[in-house]
Chain A
Amino acid sequence: MIHVLNLTKYYGDYPAIQFVSFDVPAGQIVGFLGPNGAGKSTTMRILTGYLTATSGKATIAGLDVFWDSVEVRRRIGYMAENSPLYLEMRISEYLHYRAGIKGLYGAERKKRIGYVLDRCWITDVRRQIIGTLSKGYRQRVALADALLTSPPVLILDEPTAGLDPAQIRSTRGLIRELGQEHTILLSTHILSEVEMTCDSVIIINRGKVAISSSLADLARKAGERARLVAIFDHAVESDAFLNLPGLTEVVPQALPDGALVRLSSPDMVDLAPKVCALAAQKGWRIRELRSERATLEDLFVQITGEV
């Protein structure tokens, strides 16, 4: 649905994004992940036609975002960062106006406004002036606006930023539901959000795509780098582990009341019984044995090089 090829954007001499390429297949929810200033918003603004790329090409539903900008914008529901709104208007007035400039009129307009008000849980407050609403409600108004024309593509720039935990949870639920009818590209820097809502993830760092893969693949990749953590009640000779077949790495660590050993192996399933057998043979007392998976967060930190 969204194809991006070698997108590059310079602000003066500063490259905001460089040779960014990715694909978002129809019907998927794709998380766009990256540290602040990585170029997420810039990429989204190019896709929505607010900015133009310095070079490269992006198409949405087969239409070029530069040459067919207006047609592309008709097919996109965009929720901008920090959800800017006209604060002096009432919610219903605002949505009425937005429906008008998006080409919805008459009975259809009324129907869609009613639908999005309901969908985003703002029917009760529709008479309120937007300026008097809390951040969470404003986010929902912006989302309702994005949904007005039921566009095939939704581009959401940090849809859950600044919400409280309950609101984040309900918004995620909503996004997952919306994912059944829309193709969604959402940016965030909350990692658990991506794990919970998205089908695949694009991690962008310093203007370049670092990883673009499905969450299942990422989980597999993370699994490859899983480790077994064994905690003993007393000090152990870590050299003994080296005799175990297939072990690639042993990292011992002394604890005040015992010892901790991190073991890595390409074959995690077999490792735990072997360690138990070794412990039994040596008469060690195992206090805890658990596997430690690399989380998306580890991956993210590793890629972006931030602590």
Chain B
Amino acid sequence: MRASMSLLRREFSAYFLSPIGYVVFAVFLAVTGHLFSLSLGLLTARGPKGLSYPMQLMVNDVSFWLVYLFIPPLLTMRLFAEERSTGTLEILLTAPLRDGQIVLSKFLACYGFYVLLWLPTLLYLPVLLDWEWWTMQSGIDPWPVVTTYFGLALAGAMFLALGMLVSSLVKTQMVAALVTLFIGLLFILAGLWRPADMDTSGLAYQVLYFFTVPLHFERNFSRGLIDTRNVVLYVSLTLFCLFLTVRSLESRRWR
């Protein structure tokens, strides 16, 4: 357990020892900050404008998903691919740690950085929720915000687990990033673009809805709904990818 913590701490601090962590952080904050200012504009505009739900604009905007698409590849590409290309994987795997411990520590470190990315956005909440400090209550229904963060936490875990699996399969960071980006695109593309005249009751849309993450946020999480189909997809895919990553690490032993 303490050995896992040592590994977790190293993996987490490694994000701050390379420029990539800072770049991801800066771009992410710039985009969410911009979307927050747009939300503020809409909330304070006169006339029939405004937002139905506090986080609506922040997680339904195309620019958000474009940026979000790049975060998991950049965070996960180094996890195993870097160690493999520099040879440090050998000294990591010959340390007295089980493969499961290594995978879980690396995943949690990566997930920790993802959570860290979102922490500054909590500063926007008092404004979005019309928070009243003297009564400690929000002026509007806070649950859509809670479900949005809940969705982001689970969806992030899924993308990161996918990225980690890819990273454990390839030799170079660049390939890991590109493959993860491509897989991420499958889950996000229909949120960025789909035929304008698409029949939302048709089979094609139903299938798209099943795995298109931005649609889940647009229709459910940002409105304060939790659809178990989405949750099951995120959680099961996360666990499945973690399992496959352990197997992929083990594969060196039976190849």
Contacts and interface: CB of A to CB of B under 8 A. Distances in A.
B96 A70 contact: yes
B6 A101 contact: yes
A51 B6 CA distance: 24
A71 B96 CA distance: 7
B17 A84 contact: no
A284 interface: no
Interface stretch (A26-34, A73-81, A177-185, A218-226): A73-81
A84 B94 contact: no
Interface of B is mostly: helix
B253 interface: yes
Given A51-B253, A70-B98, A84 B88 contact: yes
Interface stretch (B7-15, B127-135, B146-154): B7-15
A85 B91 CA distance: 8
Contact of A103 (B3, B14, B94): B3
A100 B91 contact: no
Contact of B97 (A70, A82, A89): A70
A145 B7 CA distance: 15
B26 interface: no
B6 A50 contact: no
B22 to A, nearest CB: 13
A52 B91 CA distance: 15
Interface of A: 45, 48-52, 70-71, 73-74, 76, 78, 80, 82, 84-89, 97-103, 105, 142, 145
Contacts of A105: 2
Contacts of B94: 48-50, 73, 76, 78, 80
Interface string B14-37: 100110000000000000000000
Contacts, number: 72
Interface in B67-91: 86-88, 90-91
Contact of B252 (A48, A51, A87, A100): A51
A97 B91 CA distance: 12
B122 interface: no
Contact of A100 (B5, B17, B18, B98): B5
A52 B93 contact: no
B3 A82 contact: no
Contacts of A71: 96
Contacts of A87: 86
B193 interface: no
Interface of B: 2-3, 5-7, 9-10, 14, 17-18, 86-88, 90-91, 93-98, 252-254
Contacts of A142: 91
A151 to B, nearest CB: 10
Given A78-B94, A86-B10, 4 more contacts: A76-B94, A80-B90, A84-B87, A103-B3
B247 to A, nearest CB: 14
Contacts of B18: 88
A227 B10 CA distance: 60
10 contacts: A49-B93, A51-B253, A73-B94, A73-B96, A80-B90, A85-B88, A86-B88, A100-B2, A101-B6, A101-B96
Contacts of B87: 80, 82, 84
Indicate the member of B18, B91, B98, B253 with the most A CB atoms within 10 Å: B91
Contacts of B17: 88-89
Contacts of A103: 2-3, 96
A123 B216 CA distance: 56
Nearest to B14: A88
A50 B252 contact: yes
Closest 6 pairs (CB-CB, A-B): A100-B6, A84-B87, A52-B253, A88-B17, A73-B96, A48-B94
B82 to A, nearest CB: 9
B91 A80 contact: yes
